[in-house]
Every structure is written in structure tokens, then in C-alpha cells.
A and B are shown apart, each in its own frame.
Chain A
Amino acid sequence: MIVRLNTDIAAGVLGLVFGAVLWFPRADIGRLSIIFPRAILLILTLISVALVVKGFIRPSGRQIEITGSPRRLVTVMIGFFLWWGLVEVLGFLLTTLIAFFALTWYLARVETVVTWQRMLMWTPIILALVSVFYLTFTEVLNVRLPTGLFF
């Protein structure tokens, strides 16, 4: 998907917004702790302004290309955040199994029709993959993974 966007202005505005977010809480910070971030914030602002000006005078790119399907991109992005959000509720193992099945099903549909029989065929592979990593981390590396409501 091609989106018309002046990348110089976009980068400049992003820099200014990022700078503003850090600029306002600086008043409560002591001199020794703010002296360096303040200098960098100043440089960031100058670079951002330069980018915005350049965007108007001599823009380097007027469009961006999102390769592939934007819908799939957003869905997978949301999926990752849901995976993260649900780990502490359902526990790592259950959430990962659900997320793994869901992602595999969703992504495989790009290439082929995913029937229940096919999902059943993939089940042992997915179970093995998740179990191997789960057991490696919990039993070998002694990492206590979140358990959530179930296990």
C-alpha cells in the first residue's frame, strides 16, 4: 500500500512531539541530571526543525510503502499486544498456546485454505514447539514464567 506522506516533515514533527513529551517534565529535575538531556533536547529540536524546513524546500520522499497487507500488519500487531496483555491473566503456557494457534491459522490462510483437519495435523507440531521452549525456560534456565489464573 502506498501512502502519500512527506517523510521529512513526518520525521521532523515526530522529533518535535517526542522532544515536547520530554521537555515539559524537566522543570522538577535537578541541574546535574538535566544538563545533558537538555542539550540533546535542544539538538533534537534543531534537527527536527531542519527536517521540517527541508520537507518544504527539498523533500526526500513524498510517499511511503507498506509492503504486504496492512490489515494483516495491524492484526498481527494487535495480536502481539493481546498476547502480552493476557499472559498475566491466563498464564504464559495457555496464552502462548492460544496465540500460537491463532497466529498460525491466521497467517496460513494467506497461502491456503486452513481446514480443521489441517489444524489438527499441525497441533502436535505446535504443542511440541511450545512445550520445548516452555520446559527449556522453566526447567533448564530456571525462569519462573507467569502462571495466571490456571497454571
Chain B
Amino acid sequence: MEMLLEALTSLLTVESLLTVLIGVSAGLFIGAMPGLTATMALAMLLPFTFSMEALQGLIALGAVYMGSIYGGAFTAILINTPGTPSSIATTFDGYPMARQGRAYEALAAATIASVVGGIVGVIFLLILAPPLARLAVAFGPSEMFWVAMLGLTLVASLSSDSLLKGLLGGCIGILLSTIGVSPVGGESRFTFGYPPLQGGIELIVALIGLFVIPELLTMAAEGRGALPGGGELRKKEVSIAKVAKHIFSKPVNLIRSCLIGQVIAIIPGAGGNVTSLVAYNEARRFSKDPKSFGKGNVDGVVASESSNNVMVAGSMVPLLTLGIPGAPPDAIILGVLLMHGLRPGLDLFTQSGVLTNGFILSMGLAALMLLPVGLMGGRVIHRVVIRTPYYFLVPSIAMVTILGTFALRNSMLDVGIMLILGTAGYFLRLIGIQAAPIVLGLILGGIAEEGYVQTLMAAVVDPIPWLRLVSNPLSMVLAGLVLLGAATALVPMWLARKGLLDKVEDEDSGGSS
């Protein structure tokens, strides 16, 4: 509690408040640009935090994250183009509302839902993270190995249409993480006689390359620029108080969406697009008027936006306690933590407790800041987003990307690696291998390797050394969860193959008509 108060004091300074304001505005601006995701926003703005102190840097990135997830709703509502994948479900009802002349109502609902979702996520993080971090102390090498495997199994199943391709991406990422000096043996590996590779592939370099460059190449190839002009943000047709009254008069939808957002956020690798789609689907399923969904029902916007903003702080539960990103943008936050010498785990909540709590509380502040920034600055941001030509956007983002990658270690080699990984990422995506499993493999590879090798070293006299990986109850539970995770991914495929899913859908549609 003392730490929390101290963190709050460190947060209530002009510098911190300004950082949050600028971060939220910048995130909102980038998130509102179709094609630019929250991960891209964080990767692009990361270099600007290099010269900041750890807390200020984390506050800035937390605010950018919160702003960009919310920003995605702007174009989703106004031009039917989700600014970020998290806002896919927002288009379903947001755009029909805009076409009915209810754009302001949809945006106000999205804003209120985002603020509530953001704050609920912070509360969940404050409640769930410390006990989980204390539990993580009991994790030895074998448990950490299974935790890493759990992350990989789940992301492989969630991020790709094909489990095999997801797993292949994960393996490629793990192998990329083994380039350079081995964490246990201390030898150089896979450097191909090129000494600069001994430092390995810097996580942030890979993140920038894999997430930003493929999008830039797609934008350039498509000549994406002429955004449809429809869905103007006209004068208020309804007051914000009326929208708030409507939302809070139906608290079940809000509570259910927040809970769904939090549960999915804890699953490593599950992004905001998954949370918002599931929350939207459940809101429709439980609604008394499901047919109105997709035709401009404000509850659909509330479900989507509250759940994806819960994910912002909620997905940091596994990140801050175990070092496993709950969503792709969290990987950038992990990079920043490691850059400042902060390792996820109990130390973050004890030795660096003020900093960690300050960071968590700053996300709550960023969520509150969405209200004035979104409602007052929304019109300006919308106009800028609509009018910025892509031929300025592509070189500008490329310039920031090159600058940011270089500034990390003053290395042009890093820029080259970033471009190579980004170009490879574009082609891999074409054949169905997404960036998310590769990145997660890159992050989890080191954790898995340390756990695996240390466990086998300790079991050198055992007749079957591998069995040491499941030698205690905690390891067995985690190994069971890995199997469960894999099964969860395989069951829908098996059902689809047997045609059972079609049958259920047929029955559903038959019942509703």
C-alpha cells in the first residue's frame, strides 16, 4: 500500500501528466491510421523514450498503447476501416451508426467503454500481478521451460489459421533467439564467422522489422491512401451524459465484456482482436434483441471497445510476473524493461515496486485521459488522419523506423537485420506464417533454453534425464496446461473436419429464424 501511494505521488507531477497526455495523443493519432497497429505505434515511438528515465519511458509507452487501441475505433466507426486489428468488431455496429448520422454517439460510447475498460484492466493488474509474481518465485528451471512452452502452444494456435504454420513460426523465432552467445554454455553459435552477430538479434530490432516493415510494404504496394471520405464527425446529436446513462444502465454487458477481455488477455499471445470479437459475439448472444447487432446497436460498440481496452493493462499480468507477453505490443514493453535492467518477476513488485506500480497506475491515468483527448481532440485527429497522404506516410514511418533501430545500439547492422527480417516477414505472411509466433519464439526461446538446459544439467546422473522436466507437481500441472493448450487448438479443427461445427451453426441459424 505504501508503495502504491509512493507510486501515485511520483505520478502526480507535471512531467508525468504531460508525458501521459502526449503519449495518449500520439497513440490515438497512430492508432487511428488504418494499417498502423498498436505494436507499430509502440515500436515507432520507442526511440523517443531512450533518453528518458525508466518510469517516464514506461509511462509514455503505456499511454501510447492505451491511446492507440482506442484510436483504432475512430476510423472503424467513421470509415468502416479498423485503425488497429483490436477494433475489427467496432466496425460491425459503429459504422452503421455513423451512416445513420449517429457517429458522435458511437464515438462517445467507444470513449466511455474504453475508459471503463482501461481502468478495469488496471485494477485487475493491480490485484492479480503481485500474488502471481510471488507464486513465480517457486518456479525453477523446469517450470520456466513449461511456462515458455505454454506461451508458444497458445500463440501458435491463436495467431494463425494453421497450427502447424504457427508452430513453425515459433520454432523459427526460437532458433533466431539462439544466434549469438549461448546463455548456458557461453559459446558463439550460428554466427557464420561474422563477429558482430555474437550479440545476437536484438529483440526490439526484430519487433520493429517484423511488425512495421511488412505493413509499410503492403501500404506501398496497394497505393493505400485514398481513404473513403464518408462518416463525417458532425455536431453533437446526443449528449455524452445521455450516452453514459445508456451504457451504465446496462452494466451486465460492460461487466461481461471486461471479464472476457481480462480472461483472454492473460492468455499469452492473444491480441485485442480476439478479445473484442469474443466480447462482441457474447454481447449479441445474450442480447434481448440480437438481430439489431450489425445494424447500429450501441451495445456492440461498448462490448468491443471495453474488452480491447481491458486487454491493455490486463495482458501485462503474464508479462510483469513471468516475462511472457500477453499480447504482441507487450513484447515492446518487455524490451524496454530489459533495456533498463528490470527483469519480470517478484523483484518488479518489491525492489522496483514504486516504478512498477507507477507504471500500472499511469495506465489508469492514460485511460482517464482518453475522455478529454478523445472527445475534444478527436475531430482534429480524424481530419489529419483522413488528409495525410500515404506517400508522405510511408517515407516518414520508414525514416522513424530506421532512426529508431539505429539509435538502439548505434548500429547500422541492426538496421540491416531489421530490414531483412521485415522483408522476410512480408513473404512469410503471404504463405501463412505470421509475425506473432516468430516474435514470441524469439522472446520465449531464451527462457525455454535456460530452463531446459539447466534441468538436464541437474539430471545428468538420472537414468532418463528428460523425466526431470516433469519431476514435481508444479511442472506436471504446467505440462498438463501445455497439453490442454495444444488440445484447445486442435479440438475446433477436429470438429470442423467432422463437420460438427457446420451442424451447430445450422441449428443456430434455424433457431433464430
Query: Do A and B come from the same complex?
Result: yes
A145 is an interface residue with CB less than 8 A from chain B: yes
With A and B bound together, what is the CA distance between A14 and B175 in angstroms?
14
**Chain A binder among B117-125, B257-265, B363-371, B401-409:** B401-409
Jot down 23 A-B pairs with beta carbons below 8 A, ordered by A: A7-B431, A7-B432, A8-B162, A12-B168, A14-B433, A15-B172, A18-B175, A35-B456, A36-B449, A36-B453, A37-B178, A40-B178, A77-B217, A83-B398, A87-B412, A104-B391, A111-B225, A111-B389, A126-B392, A133-B403, A137-B47, A137-B407, A143-B403
Q: Is B452 interfacial (CB-CB < 8 Å)?
A: yes
- Min Cβ gap A20→B in Å is 12
- B interface, by DSSP: helix, strand, loop or mixed? helix
- How many whole Å from B483's CB to the nearest CB in chain A? 16
Total number of A residues with any Cβ neighbor in B under 8 Å: 74
Does A94 make an interface contact (CB < 8 A)?
no
Give the residue of B168, B400, B415 whose beta carbon is less than 8 angstroms from that of A48: B168
Interface size class of B (residues with CB under 8 A): 35 or more
Query: In the assembly, what is the distance between CA of A36 and CA of B446, in Å?
Result: 10
Give per-residue flags for A33-46: 1 if the beta carbon is below 8 A from chain B beta carbons, else 0. 11111011101100
Among listed B13-21, B187-195, B296-304, interface-contacting one: B187-195
**What's the count of A-B pairs with C-beta under 8 Å?**
197
Contact of A22 with B185 at beta-carbon distance under 8 Å, contacts A11-B433, A36-B449, A141-B47 already known = no
> Do A107 and B394 have beta carbons less than 8 Å apart?
yes
Chain B residues whose C-beta falls within 8 Å of the C-beta of A103 in the assembled complex: 391, 394-395, 398
Q: Which of chain A's residues have a CB closer than 8 A to the CB of B395?
A: 99-100, 103-104, 107
The answer to whether A51 and B220 have CB atoms under 8 Å apart is: no
Contact in complex: A40, B185 (CB < 8 Å): no
Interface residues of A, dominant DSSP: helix
The distance in angstroms between the C-alpha atoms of A54 and B187, with both chains bound, is 37
For A65, the chain B residues whose CB sits under 8 A away are 430
Residue of chain B at shortest CB distance from A102: B395
How far does the alpha carbon of A80 sit from the alpha carbon of B162 in the complex, in Å?
31
Q: How far is the CA of A2 from the CA of B391 in the complex (A)?
A: 25
Please tell me if B457 contacts chain A, counting CB pairs below 8 Å.
yes
| A100 B185 Cβ-Cβ under 8 A | no
Q: Does B167 contact A (CB under 8 A)?
A: yes
Give bound CA distance, A76 to B213, whole Å.
Answer: 11
Specify the chain B residue showing the minimal Cβ separation from A34.
B189
- Residues A22 and B190 in contact in the complex (CB < 8 Å), given A80-B213, A141-B407: yes
